[in-house]
Structure 1
């Protein structure tokens, strides 16, 4: 009984934290691709729904990676044949964040991504180097060992937020808010 109450309390606290960011404009962020092209969020993605996944520790980056293939298949990969009319027109970015002393590792991480990540996914990975405080406060993410995901509307406002490892339930919620 105690264990179930603790889990319920934890779930409610997580849901409350995610609800606090709904309706807020995503904070300005400048990140770059593996090819050093600058991308400014949310400005450069205005006009389309956008899914952003963010991670700021090695463990959270591993969980972020659990989203790569399902998101690619659902939102990025171009459908052929009968399903081609059901393609989504959505921006998708996965953003590993390098802050503090780890900011120096950004270049190494880019090289590692080029070597280890499917080339079709590389354009959807942005590397952020800078301070973390602004994003932790604005986006209510305190747990460093989990990734955070945000669906932005075409004006850059957050319409859905979730965190953690990929699940089909979370993907269904993301898809519902993008449709």
Structure 2
């Protein structure tokens, strides 16, 4: 009985951290719009760099996604103008993508206009909006809960090298950082 409990907990832990996306598979094509009304095609337009993409397709997931903004900004986006000896800067594309699917599609423009006015200017280049269907992303990325955000580390060729989901925790942030460092060190 003890062995079954340990095995079950291990499987749940593994599933929680990395089994949601098909690690090694290519991130599905997604056309998204920036807050400056330019279109970006993921993963095609990642410019040969590693990328971190956060997706949310419900209001609650978007609220949780906002909890990741500052830690991800500090870790992957901010470039210290006066770096010290031990400062390390990542050269990683970072995108936060609210997904407007189904009945939420009509709210797309209204929410985009609101965010243009309210979101921190430093984050605006990193916010993309997707409007369309959800089915192909749920299947390709193994979404199983609509009320949480999903995060994917994508290599320069568009392959998923790591995924996680849920509310921000320091442990998850460290796992993402470790995945990016590990993947970049293999190049």
TM-score, normalized by the shorter chain, greater than 0.5: yes
Instruction: Spell out the pairing of 1:1-179 with structure 2 (5 A cutoff).
Output: 8=9, 10-15=12-17, 17-18=19-20, 21-83=22-84, 86-179=88-181
TM (norm. structure 2) is: 0.87
Q: For 1:57 and 1:36, how far apart are their aligned partners in 2?
A: 22
| SS class of match (1:21) | coil
Query: Are the aligned partners of 2:18 and 2:163 in contact in 1 as well (CA < 8 Å)?
Result: no
| TM-aligned CA distance change 1:12 to 1:88, over 3 Å | closer
Q: For 1:16 and 1:89, how far apart are their aligned partners in 2?
A: 23
Q: CA deviation at 1:16?
A: 6.4
| TM-aligned CA distance change 1:24 to 1:83, over 3 Å | farther
Q: For 2:36 and 2:164, how far apart are their aligned partners in 1?
A: 29
Q: CA deviation at 1:59?
A: 0.3
Q: CA deviation at 1:35?
A: 1.6
| SS class of match (2:179) | helix
Query: Are the aligned partners of 1:76 and 1:88 in contact in 2 as well (CA < 8 Å)?
Result: yes
Q: CA deviation at 1:12?
A: 4.6
Q: For 1:166 and 1:109, how far apart are their aligned partners in 2?
A: 23
Query: Are the aligned partners of 2:57 and 2:146 in contact in 1 as well (CA < 8 Å)?
Result: yes
| SS class of match (1:67) | helix
| SS class of match (1:87) | coil
Query: Are the aligned partners of 1:51 and 1:93 in contact in 2 as well (CA < 8 Å)?
Result: yes
| SS class of match (2:96) | strand
- The number of residues matched between the two structures is 176
Q: For 2:55 and 2:167, how far apart are their aligned partners in 1?
A: 12
Deviations 1:124-156 (A, max 9, x none): 000000000000000000200000000001111
Q: Which runs of 4+ in 1 moved over 4 A?
A: none
TM (norm. structure 1) is: 0.90
* Gap runs ≥5 in structure 1: none
Superposition RMSD in Å: 2.1
| SS class of match (2:55) | strand
